[in-house]
C-alpha cells in the first residue's frame, strides 16, 4: 500500500514541477523603475474581484466596469461606480503595507494596487517585460484591463512579457492577497510577521528582440581550472555565436547555440583569484550574443564536503554565521533596498561573520549582491517551515517553484554556498518523500552548491542529556544542520554543561539555530528570563558545549536583530517582537553580541 502511495505521489510531483523563468541579473539590464507612489484600494470582501453571486470577474469575458482591474472612471453623474482609483489613498512600492499606515498594520487579506505609467521603447523591435522582485503572497496582474497572469509565493521574482500590450498611457493593476493558507508555503503558522504587499522592486526590462535570458557561469566543482555552464537565448535562437569574456582573467571564447537557443560550454582556464570571505574577488564577465550584451560581476570558487569538512576552494572552513530575517528594525518592515542590505550585513561583518543564514525564505537580490561584495558566504532557504501539507501535490508544486526560482535567480552567486530545503519539519514518511524530491530537483538544477536543511534534535527517556540527530533527511543533504534551544525552551543554560551529542553521520555538522530572548537594556542576574545577562550566559555555555561536537563546522545562532512576530505577546518585554536578536530594535548591541564576536574573532585567527 505504502509503495503504491509513494508511486502515486511521485508521479504527481513529477507532473507538476515545470516552471516559468524570470530574467536573471535584473540590476544589470536596461530597466525602468515602476517603484514609487501607487494607489491602493483595501478590499476585505474582494468586491473588486467577484460580483455579488461570487463569480470572479477575471474569468468573465466581459467583466464590466465594477471590476477594479478595469480601472474605470465614472463616465457622467448618472453612472453608479463604487470605487475611484484617482481619489483612493497611496502607498510606497516597494514596501509592505503593514507598516505604512496604522489601519493596515494587522490587515491580512486583499489589497489592490494601481500604477499609471507611460513608456516608449528605445527601439522598434525591442521587447518589454514587467518584472516583480516579490509580492506577498498571492497576486494577479492586469495591464490595461487585461489579465497577464498570477503568482503564488511571497519571496520570489516573476515576470510577464508585455511587448504587444503596451500603450502610450498604461494602467497596471495588481491584486495582492496575503491571507495565510494551510496548504501554503509557508503555512498558516510561522514565527514572523506576515508583511503584505508589493515588497520588492517593480521594473520594466527592455531587451533586444533576441536576448540573453539566462546564463550559468561557474567553476567545475571538481576542477577549478575549468569553467562550465550555459547561455540561454530567447527569441530567434539557433546557430547564434556567443562570446564569453572575463577580461581581467584573460578569458575569451566563443560557443554556438543549438536549436533551443542553449549554448553549453566547458573551457580550460588559468588559475583565478578565487572568491573567499577574506578576498571576495568578483570578475567582470561579459556575455555577448549577436544582438545582446550582459555584464555581470561573478566570483569563482568551489565548495564541497569531504567527510566532516566543508572545503572552500579545497580548504576546510568553519562557518562563522548568524541567522537573519529580512527586516529593517528602524523602519519596522520588510527590508528591500541596498541600504537595508548594507545595514544588516554590516552588522554581520562587525560580529566577525564569514557566513549568514538568510532565514526562512529567499531574501531580496541586494542581500545576495552585498554578500558577494563583502565576502559573506550565504545559506539561502525556502519557506518549507514547520508543519506543511506534505501530501498535497499543489503544496509540493508551490515549494518546488519557489526553490527552482531562487536557484535560477542566484545560481551565479559565489557567496551562495548552501540551498536549504526546510526548517524544523516533523519527521514522517510523506515529509521525507517531499524533501527527497526537492533535494533531487535542487541537484538537477545546480551541481555547484551544497544542500542542507535545519533539522531537529531529540532525546530518549533513558538519557535526557544526550541530544540525538537522527533523521532520514540527513542522509540526502550534504550538511547535517539542526536547531537546538537547550537552556531556553529546554531547561536552563546550565543543562548545556552535561550535554552530549549523538550525530551518526560522516558529514559536516552545523548548528543552524540556538539562542535566548533578551530585551536590550534589561539587566538582571543570569537566571532572569529576558535579561541581557541570561542571553549572554546562554551564549557562553552554548559555544563551549557545541565545540564538543566532533564534526562541528559552523553555526548561525538565532538571530542578528530582534524581529516582529505576532506570537510574542509579553507586554513590556516582547510587545510583538521576537527578542532573540543580538541587536535590539533600536540597533543596541546586547551583551551576547560581544560574546559571539569574541568567539568568532578567535576562530578567525585559528590556522587550519
Helix 365-374 × helix 393-410 angle, to 10° = 40
Instruction: Considering the complex, state which of residue 18 and residue 189 has its C-beta at the smaller distance from ligand GCB.
Output: 189
Q: Give the contact letters, 428-467, x = binds to ligand GCB (CB under 6 A), - = no.
A: ----------------------------------------
User: Residue 145, by phi and psi: left (phi above 0), alpha (psi -120 to 50) or beta?
Assistant: left
From 25, 178, 578, 591, residue interacting with ligand GCB (rule: CB under 6 A): 578
Contact criterion met (CB below 8 Å) for 384 and 184: no
Positions 354 through 393 that interact with ligand GCB (CB under 6 A): 360
Residue 228 corresponds to which cell in the numbers above?
562550465
> What is the number of other CB atoms lying within 10 angstroms of the CB of residue 416?
25
At residue 478's C-alpha, the angle toward residues 476 and 483, to 5°, is: 95
- Residue 186: phi and psi, rounded to 5, are -75, 175
From 71, 245, 381, 424, residue interacting with ligand GCB (rule: CB under 6 A): 424
Instruction: Considering the complex, state which of residue 542 and residue 578 has its C-beta at the smaller distance from ligand GCB.
Output: 578
Taking the complex as a whole, the smallest distance from the CB of residue 512 to ligand GCB amounts, in Å, to 8
Taking the complex as a whole, the smallest distance from the CB of residue 192 to ligand GCB amounts, in Å, to 7
Contact criterion met (CB below 8 Å) for 335 and 328: yes
Closest listed residue to residue 542, CA positions, set 492, 502, 590, 504: 492
Closest listed residue to residue 332, CA positions, set 12, 105, 128: 105
What sections of 96-253 are H helices per DSSP? none
Taking the complex as a whole, the smallest distance from the CB of residue 424 to ligand GCB amounts, in Å, to 5
Taking the complex as a whole, the smallest distance from the CB of residue 427 to ligand GCB amounts, in Å, to 15
Interaction between residue 423 and ligand GCB (CB under 6 A) = yes
Positions 466 through 505 that interact with ligand GCB (CB under 6 A): 483
CA distances from 170 to 84, 119, 166, 228 (A): 17, 8, 7, 42
- Cell 557545541 belongs to which residue? 546
Positions 9 through 28 that interact with ligand GCB (CB under 6 A): none
Strand order in the sheet with 36-42: 90-93, 36-42, 110-118, 169-177, 138-143, 146-152
Positions 513 through 532 that interact with ligand GCB (CB under 6 A): 513
Q: How far apart are CA 288 and CA 244, in angstroms?
A: 7
From 580, 590, 592, 593, residue interacting with ligand GCB (rule: CB under 6 A): 580
Q: Give the contact letters, 258-287, x = binds to ligand GCB (CB under 6 A), - = no.
A: ------------------------------
Q: How far apart are CA 96 and CA 111, in angstroms?
A: 11
- Cell 574573532 belongs to which residue? 601
Instruction: Considering the complex, state which of residue 68 and residue 390 has its C-beta at the smaller distance from ligand GCB.
Output: 390
Instruction: Considering the complex, state which of residue 192 and residue 434 has its C-beta at the smaller distance from ligand GCB.
Output: 192
- Cell 532557504 belongs to which residue? 381
Instruction: Considering the complex, state which of residue 481 and residue 503 has its C-beta at the smaller distance from ligand GCB.
Output: 481
Contacts 24+ apart (CB under 8 A), 533-538: 533/591, 534/493, 535/580, 535/590, 535/591, 535/592, 536/590, 536/591, 536/592, 536/595, 537/493, 538/487, 538/488, 538/493, 538/496, 538/514, 538/592
From 96, 191, 206, 437, residue interacting with ligand GCB (rule: CB under 6 A): 191
Q: How far apart are CA 185 and CA 393, in angstroms?
A: 12
Burial degree of 79 (CB within 10 A; 0-12, 13-18, 19+): exposed
Instruction: Considering the complex, state which of residue 151 and residue 483 has its C-beta at the smaller distance from ligand GCB.
Output: 483
At residue 146's C-alpha, the angle toward residues 145 and 148, to 5°, is: 130
Taking the complex as a whole, the smallest distance from the CB of residue 191 to ligand GCB amounts, in Å, to 4
Residue 176 corresponds to which cell in the numbers above?
495582492
Taking the complex as a whole, the smallest distance from the CB of residue 513 to ligand GCB amounts, in Å, to 5
Counting every residue written for the chain, the total comes to 608
Q: Give the contact letters, 542-571, x = binds to ligand GCB (CB under 6 A), - = no.
A: ----------------x-------------
At residue 131's C-alpha, the angle toward residues 20 and 161, to 5°, is: 65
What lies within 8 Å, CB to CB, of 502 at 6+ separation is 466, 467, 468, 469, 470
Instruction: Considering the complex, state which of residue 364 and residue 483 has its C-beta at the smaller distance from ligand GCB.
Output: 483
Taking the complex as a whole, the smallest distance from the CB of residue 360 to ligand GCB amounts, in Å, to 6
- How far does CA 409 lie from the centroid of its chain? 10
- Residue 100: phi and psi, rounded to 5, are -95, -30
Interaction between residue 535 and ligand GCB (CB under 6 A) = no
Instruction: Considering the complex, state which of residue 203 and residue 348 has its C-beta at the smaller distance from ligand GCB.
Output: 348
Residue 550 corresponds to which cell in the numbers above?
566532533
Taking the complex as a whole, the smallest distance from the CB of residue 231 to ligand GCB amounts, in Å, to 38
Instruction: Considering the complex, state which of residue 526 and residue 565 has its C-beta at the smaller distance from ligand GCB.
Output: 565
Taking the complex as a whole, the smallest distance from the CB of residue 470 to ligand GCB amounts, in Å, to 18
**Contact residues for ligand GCB (CB under 6 A)?**
191, 360, 423-424, 483, 513, 558, 578, 580
Amino acid at each position: 500500500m505504502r509503495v503504491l502511495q509513494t508511486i502515486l505521489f511521485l508521479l504527481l510531483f513529477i507532473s507538476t514541477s515545470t516552471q516559468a523563468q524570470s530574467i536573471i541579473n535584473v540590476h544589470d539590464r536596461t530597466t525602468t523603475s515602476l517603484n514609487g507612489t501607487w494607489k491602493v484600494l483595501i478590499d476585505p470582501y474582494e468586491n473588486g474581484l467577484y460580483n455579488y453571486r461570487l463569480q470572479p470577474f477575471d474569468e468573465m469575458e466581459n467583466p464590466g466596469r465594477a471590476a477594479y482591474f478595469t480601472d474605470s472612471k465614472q463616465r457622467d453623474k448618472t453612472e453608479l461606480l463604487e470605487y475611484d482609483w484617482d481619489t483612493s489613498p497611496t502607498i510606497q512600492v516597494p514596501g509592505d503595507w503593514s507598516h505604512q499606515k496604522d489601519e493596515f498594520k494587522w490587515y491580512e487579506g486583499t489589497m489592490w494596487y494601481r500604477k499609471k505609467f507611460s513608456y516608449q521603447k528605445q527601439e522598434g523591435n525591442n521587447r518589454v517585460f514587467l518584472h516583480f522582485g516579490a509580492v506577498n503572497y498571492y497576486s494577479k496582474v492586469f495591464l490595461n484591463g487585461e489579465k497577464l497572469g498570477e503568482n503564488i509565493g511571497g519571496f520570489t521574482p516573476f515576470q510577464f512579457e508585455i511587448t504587444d500590450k503596451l500603450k502610450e498611457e498604461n494602467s497596471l493593476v495588481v491584486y495582492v492577497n496575503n491571507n495565510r493558507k494551510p496548504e501554503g508555503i509557508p503555512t498558516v503558522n510561522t514565527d514572523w510577521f506576515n508583511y503584505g504587499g508589493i515588497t520588492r522592486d517593480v521594473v520594466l526590462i527592455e531587451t533586444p528582440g533576441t536576448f540573453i535570458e539566462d546564463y550559468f557561469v561557474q567553476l567545475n566543482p571538481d576542477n577549478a581550472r575549468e569553467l562550465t555552464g550555459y547561455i540561454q537565448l530567447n527569441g530567434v535562437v539557433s546557430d547564434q555565436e556567443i562570446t564569453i569574456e572575463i577580461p581581467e582573467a584573460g578569458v575569451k571564447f566563443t560557443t554556438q547555440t543549438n536549436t533551443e537557443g542553449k549554448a553549453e560550454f566547458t573551457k580550460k582556464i588559468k588559475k583565478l583569484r578565487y572568491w573567499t570571505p577574506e578576498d571576495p574577488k568578483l570578475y567582470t564577465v561579459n556575455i555577448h550574443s549577436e544582438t545582446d550584451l550582459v555584464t555581470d560581476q561573478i566570483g569563482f570558487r568551489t565548495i564541497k564536503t569531504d567527510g566532516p569538512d566543508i572545503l572552500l576552494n579545497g580548504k576546510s572552513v568553519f562557518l562563522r554565521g548568524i541567522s537573519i530575517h529580512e527586516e529593517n528594525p528602524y523602519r519596522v518592515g520588510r527590508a528591500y533596498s541596498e541600504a537595508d542590505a548594507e545595514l544588516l550585513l554590516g552588522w554581520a561583518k562587525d560580529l566577525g561573520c564569514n557566513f549568514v543564514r538568510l532565514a526562512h525564505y529567499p531574501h531580496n537580490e541586494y542581500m545576495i549582491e552585498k554578500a558577494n561584495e563583502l565576502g559573506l558566504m550565504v545559506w539561502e532557504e525556502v519557506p518549507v517551515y514547520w508543519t506543511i501539507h506534505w501530501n498535497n501535490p499543489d503544496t509540493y508544486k508551490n515549494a518546488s517553484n519557489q526553490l527552482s526560482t531562487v536557484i535560477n535567480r542566484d545560481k551565479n552567486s559565489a557567496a551562495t554556498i548552501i540551498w536549504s530545503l526546510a526548517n524544523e519539519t516533523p519527521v514522517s514518511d510523506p515529509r521525507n518523500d517531499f524533501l527527497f524530491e526537492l533535494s533531487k530537483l535542487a541537484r538537477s538544477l545546480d551541481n555547484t552548491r551544497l544542500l542542507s536543511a535545519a533539522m531537529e534534535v531529540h532525546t530518549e527517556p533513558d538519557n535526557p542529556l544526550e541530544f540525538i540527530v537522527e533523521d532520514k533527511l540527513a542522509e540526502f543533504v550534504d550538511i547535517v544542520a539542526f536547531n537546538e534551544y537547550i537552556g531556553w525552551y529546554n531547561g536552563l543554560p546550565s543543562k548545556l554543561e552535561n550535554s552530549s551529542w549523538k550525530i551518526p553521520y560522516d558529514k559536516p555538522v552545523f548548528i543552524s539555530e540556538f539562542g535566548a530572548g533578551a530585551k536590550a537594556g534589561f539587566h538582571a542576574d543570569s537566571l532572569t528570563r529576558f535579561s541581557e545577562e541570561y542571553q549572554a550566559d546562554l551564549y557562553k555555555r552554548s559555544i563551549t558545549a557545541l565545540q564538543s561536537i566532533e564534526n562541528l563546522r559552523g553555526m548561525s545562532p538565532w538571530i542578528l536583530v530582534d524581529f516582529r512576530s505576532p506570537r510574542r505577546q509579553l507586554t513590556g518585554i516582547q510587545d510583538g517582537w521576537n527578542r532573540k536578536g543580538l541587536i535590539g530594535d533600536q540597533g543596541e548591541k546586547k551583551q551576547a553580541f560581544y560574546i559571539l564576536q569574541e568567539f568568532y574573532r578567535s576562530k578567525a585567527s585559528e590556522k587550519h
